[in-house]
Structure 1
Amino acid sequence: MNFTAPALFASVFPESFQWVGWLGLVFLAWRWLMSGDWRQLADPQRLNLFLGATVVVLALWQIRAGVKPGLSFHLYGMAALTLMFGFWRATCAGVLILFANAVFGRGSWEALGVDALLTAALPAAVSWGIFRLLDRFLPNHFFIYVLGNGFFGAALSVVAVGLATTALMALGGAYTLDYLLTHYTPYALMISWGEAFTTGMMVTVMAVYRPDWVESFDDARYIQNK
């Protein structure tokens, strides 16, 4: 296994995929600017927390293993970032991580757009969607928040990345579907267990000791009078 393989290489995707990735990334950047969510980073305390969390996840992404170019396994941490900052800032943090990887030669500039959609926006969207569903349909309870979002939501976010990567690689002709289903997909899905455990523990500790770090958590709703 190659422990220095970047998440995606430009060589494994056709140029059309790269253009779609960059267009998607530009659209997300425009939507983020329009949403006004970026104003949250004007608060120095929030900015320091955001940058610190981004650096921690950047370090986490360096611990990876790869079987082939474009096929790597690592913990993502995107579910934790999403619960801490919401979808938009979590996706921004993921893009910053990919940018840093590209700067230091551990990622591809050409595939950065596809990589951002696949490994930053997608898991953040899944995590945020799970949070919104649980918040709407289930009681506000600490264990529902931790188990549903920290464990279940984190696991599903990684499952989504694994399945989407399999589909895109097969569709783009990078690898055959049989090869992916044998040598990549099962192991990519297994990573979801590690992601669930890691995120669940992190969210639990932060919710108990530093609830102000987790914007999606409100101790008055999830703990008090329960």
Structure 2
Amino acid sequence: MNLHAGPFANWLLLTSFLISGGLILHAALRIPWFALTQERLTGWFGASVFVLCFWQMKASIQPGLSFHLLGASALTMIAGRDKALLGLAAVLIADTAYGHSAWASMGLSWLIIAFLPVTLTHALFNWAQRALPANYFIYIFVNCFAASMLSMWCTGFFTCGLLAASGVYPVDFLIEEQLPYYFLMGWPEGFTSGVYLSLLVIWRPQWVSTFNDAFYLTRKN
């Protein structure tokens, strides 16, 4: 999922870099840094390291075609949208420093594997709080499992669409040889996020910024 710079036009790489830089700066300015508790910092930093470890377990099919679990939805549920965007930026920088991606395409990669799933997860979380009952199982199965699975699928669609539009690989090849892997990986992505969040809200709920005992366990709709 980490994109190589070679196949893409310079204007696209530069534009995506500027957009991603602006979005990261905006997220950083929205974070109340001096109000963060030790529990929130522990959850945020620990989950970011966990995501970085996930990214090291990847499989490659063709140059520029590699697969790994995202962990973006889980990080969003643990740290919140803005801190998740910053955490994934740090993870992507570290992963690029390891030689798994190109510096020139880092902005484009961040938009697809960080901003897209984080935004989708955040939007689904807000919708569920407004439209669905305040229930622990809805939090786990909708906001954690389903959001993670949908994030992986959307990432796959956007990645394949970008590669096809850039002429890197034929559309038939992407549909037959790459897109199915994203659908398959949606299930372990959702399962891993669901199990991980289930354990955290039971044993370390103070690390999860989106979980509120009073809202999910005592509120009646």
Is the TM value for this pair above 0.5? yes
Q: Does 1:112 align with 2:106?
A: yes
Q: 1:10 aligned to 5, 23, 26, which one?
A: 5
Q: Deviations over 1:77-118 (max 9, x none)?
A: 111100011111111111111100111212210100001101
2:6 is paired with a residue of what secondary structure?
helix
Q: Does 1:90 align with 2:84?
A: yes
Q: Is the Cα–Cα contact under 8 Å of residues 44 and 207 in structure 2 kept in the other structure?
A: no
Corresponding residue of 1:22: 17
Q: CA deviation at 1:45?
A: 4.1
Q: Does 1:39 align with 2:39?
A: no
Distance in 2, Cα, partners of 1:201 & 1:47: 21
Corresponding residue of 1:3: none
Q: 2:55 aligned to 58, 61, 69, which one?
A: 61
Q: 1:146 aligned to 131, 140, 162, which one?
A: 140
TM-score (norm 1): 0.91
Q: Deviations over 1:117-159 (max 9, x none)?
A: 0111111111111111111100100011111011111101111
TM-score (norm 2): 0.93
2:101 is paired with a residue of what secondary structure?
coil
Report runs of 4+ in structure 1 exceeding 6 Å deviation: none
Distance in 2, Cα, partners of 1:218 & 1:12: 45
Distance in 2, Cα, partners of 1:195 & 1:33: 27
Q: CA deviation at 1:48?
A: 3.5
Corresponding residue of 1:170: 164
Give the aligned residue type for 1:21.
S
Give the aligned residue type for 1:19.
L
Distance in 1, Cα, partners of 2:7 & 2:24: 25
Give the aligned residue type for 1:108.
A
Distance in 2, Cα, partners of 1:31 & 1:61: 25
Distance in 1, Cα, partners of 2:72 & 2:123: 13
Distance in 2, Cα, partners of 1:176 & 1:41: 50
Distance in 1, Cα, partners of 2:120 & 2:142: 12
Corresponding residue of 1:125: 119
Fraction of identical pairs, as percent = 33
Corresponding residue of 2:95: 101
Q: Is the Cα–Cα contact under 8 Å of residues 18 and 110 in structure 1 kept in the other structure?
A: yes
1:66 is paired with a residue of what secondary structure?
strand
CA distance 1:196–1:9, change in 2 (3 Å): same
Q: Does 1:208 align with 2:202?
A: yes
Provide the alpha-carbon RMSD of the alignment: 1.7
Distance in 2, Cα, partners of 1:189 & 1:16: 31
Corresponding residue of 2:185: 191
Q: Deviations over 1:157-205 (max 9, x none)?
A: 1111000001111111111111100110111121110101000001111
